[in-house]
Structure 1
Amino acid sequence: MRPEVQTFVANGPLPDWDASEEEIGRRVQQLNAIPKPITGGEAQALVSCFGPDDCYGVAWTLLHVIETGPNPVLTTQPVIDANEWHQRLYDRAVNGGLIPRT
């Protein structure tokens, strides 16, 4: 795994809307530093970095970075109480014809 991805993953999930501008800005810089496309292993690691909300749109950027890697990342339907972003990744793979809905 490349160092840029390791750094992002080591900082854990994205913060929620209550985070400071500095924290959100730092995470955006880390995310933008990740070279694309990413590997399958990097995509799997980044899936764990979604936070409780969209983090002022940063979660969408994370989703798009994940989708630069080999798809689909999630091949089975997430559980009912899964993170909404995991459900989005799965739904996008289904809607894109990459996997059948289970």
Structure 2
Amino acid sequence: MRAEVLTFVADGPLPDWEAEDDELDRRVPQLEAISKPVTGEEAAALVDCFGPDDCYGVAWTLLHLIETGPAPVLTAKPGPGANEWHHRLYERAATEGPIAAG
């Protein structure tokens, strides 16, 4: 796994909308430092980095980065208590056709 991915993952989930500017100023460049495409292993690690909301749009950047991986990360429908971003990733992959919706 590349160092840029390890650094981002080590900082944990993205903050919510109430995050301090300095945290966003640190996390956004970390995410932008990860070049596309990601490997399957990197995508699987990054999927755990979604926070409770869209973090001022940063979660969309993370979602699009994960989607550059070689295959869908989530191949089983997330449970009802799963993060909304996990549901989005799954539904987007199911809509595109690489996995069977279920």
| Superposed pair shares fold, TM > 0.5 | yes
Moved more, 5-14 or 67-76: 67-76
Residue type of the alignment partner of 1:96: E
Residue number in structure 2 paired with 1:13: 13
User: Counterparts of 2:97 and 2:12 in 1: how far apart (Å)?
Assistant: 31
Give 5+ residue unaligned stretches, structure 1.
Answer: none
1:42 aligned partner: 42
Aligned residues: 102
- Equivalent residue letter for 2:92: R
Corresponding residue for residue 59 of structure 1: 59
- Percent identical: 69
Q: 1: distance between equivalents of 2:44 and 2:59?
A: 15
- Structure 2 gaps of 5+ residues are none
* 1:71, distance to aligned residue in structure 2 (A): 2.0
Cα distance, 1:70 vs structure 2: 1.2
Q: Secondary structure at the match of 1:81?
A: coil
Cα distance in 1, alignment partners of residues 37 and 45 from structure 2: 14
Q: Give the AA of the match of 1:81.
A: G
